[in-house]
Structure 1
């Protein structure tokens, strides 16, 4: 039986610990913090008119990005959500106001299959844990790592902003060569930049 590498074992432990802290947050705290996150994002995030921004519908105890996403749409963004199409791949379907939402696997929801598939240039990324350098730990399936790599192969280098609660921060994420650091992290305490966040007006 093949054993996991020490880095993957450490990532797994950090993931479980951070998610346990997130799960322990009271529901009213998560709701209020999600509204704070929306407020910080609305005031601090810049993007080009018509830019395609990916977000996600919340599952379990995740940040609820819907208030932020709808505000970004009101400011001219095109929105899309990830959809799992097989055990290895996600694609991004455009979130259109007249398109129904459907279950898309693993407790997630996304636009109906008739919605256009698009390539985001700006991604609001879910995560389990993050550190002050901008490295993240995902949920372990690697969907976003592969999606980002696919976009880069198309010469698209999407802006990556992680979204999480402050309690998900860890001292250090053990990074691997394929890991792509975040540009910033958006939490209830604000938008914390690891690089330039003001690339478009």
Structure 2
């Protein structure tokens, strides 16, 4: 598949997968989120003293806010990603429940204060994914660009619903696979 065809395929596939997510009822999403969070328990491990980057859910992504609290309760440091400049890697700032948030790019809540940190573990929401742990995101390249800039590379957990699995994302040289993908039904390594 040439570059132009791949770009069009990814755009259409994103829209199809987002539509599947949009039609889930709030009750169905809550049930899937609970099962997904239970599967995360088998992956997360000891977070004491580690920086764990999560995300604020948008576009009906799995809601991992309970994991944020659990990380803090277990002695980890939560961080949220921030788009500071388009075309540049994300910046991560520490955040704990009760600390102020402000609206960032696309009106996503981001820490109003917090220290700039480097994650040991990073969660990435997926629009789609394949069995090789490649992630289809929203198409901005922020997450892959960020992972390419981090040294050492954090343990990266792709998070999404099982219905987002596709045979392949047709990975390109700039696509970086996740360490694992966690859904409500399984953990893919």
TM-score norm. by structure 2 comes to: 0.91
Once the two structures are TM-superposed, the CA of residue 157 in structure 1 deviates from its matched residue by 1.0
- Residue equivalent to 2:50: 51
Q: CA RMSD in A?
A: 1.7
Alignment of 1:126-145 (within 5 A): 126-145=125-144
- Which secondary structure does the structure 2 equivalent of 1:123 belong to? strand
Distance in 2 between residues matched to 1:25 and 1:164, nearest whole Å? 13
Listed as ranges, the gaps of 5+ residues in structure 1 are 195-201
Once the two structures are TM-superposed, the CA of residue 44 in structure 1 deviates from its matched residue by 3.4
- Residue equivalent to 1:117: 116
Once the two structures are TM-superposed, the CA of residue 145 in structure 1 deviates from its matched residue by 1.2
Contact residue 42 and residue 72 of structure 1 kept, 8 A:
no
- Residue equivalent to 1:42: 41
Is residue 189 of structure 2 the alignment partner of residue 190 of structure 1?
A: no
Is residue 111 of structure 2 the alignment partner of residue 101 of structure 1?
A: no
- Which secondary structure does the structure 1 equivalent of 2:104 belong to? strand
Once the two structures are TM-superposed, the CA of residue 18 in structure 1 deviates from its matched residue by 1.0
Listed as ranges, the gaps of 5+ residues in structure 2 are none
Distance in 2 between residues matched to 1:172 and 1:184, nearest whole Å? 15
- Residue equivalent to 1:173: 169
User: Which deviations, in whole Å up to 9, do the C-alpha atoms of 1:77-108 show, x marking residues without a partner?
Assistant: 21100112122232111013452011112131
Alignment of 1:63-82 (within 5 A): 63-82=62-81
- Residue equivalent to 1:164: 160
Contact residue 69 and residue 97 of structure 2 kept, 8 A:
no
Once the two structures are TM-superposed, the CA of residue 76 in structure 1 deviates from its matched residue by 2.0
Contact residue 126 and residue 163 of structure 1 kept, 8 A:
yes
Contact residue 72 and residue 96 of structure 2 kept, 8 A:
no
TM-score norm. by structure 1 comes to: 0.86
- Which secondary structure does the structure 2 equivalent of 1:181 belong to? coil
Once the two structures are TM-superposed, the CA of residue 10 in structure 1 deviates from its matched residue by 1.7
- Which secondary structure does the structure 1 equivalent of 2:145 belong to? helix
User: Which deviations, in whole Å up to 9, do the C-alpha atoms of 1:9-67 show, x marking residues without a partner?
Assistant: 22222211111111111111111211221122124321452111101011121110111
- Which secondary structure does the structure 2 equivalent of 1:189 belong to? coil
Contact residue 42 and residue 68 of structure 1 kept, 8 A:
no
